[in-house]
Amino acid sequence: FTDFAATRELTRVLLLHDHGVNWSVQPALLTSSSRPLPLKP
């Protein structure tokens, strides 16, 4: 998938429908980089 917003929404809907999990991902957590993002203290 190349559209991060669509991928995030599809994941959210599938998790809610299949498992009853209400989950959201902040856009900053989705990146095309293979490097992990630094954690904020």
Q: Does the residue 33 lie in any domain?
A: no
Write out the chain's pLDDT in tens, 41 residues.
678 788 888 888 998 999 988 876 666 665 555 555 566 66
Q: Is residue 5 in a domain?
A: yes
Domain presence at residue 1: yes
Note whether residue 4 is domain-resident: yes
Three-point CA angle 10, 6, 17, nearest 5°: 15
pLDDT of residue 18: 92
In a domain, 34, yes or no: no
Domain count across the chain: 1
Q: Specify if 23 maps to a domain.
A: yes
How many angstroms from the chain centroid is the CA of residue 4? Answer: 8
- CA 14, 16, 33 angle in degrees (round to 5)? 55
Domain of 9 in residue numbering reads as 1-27
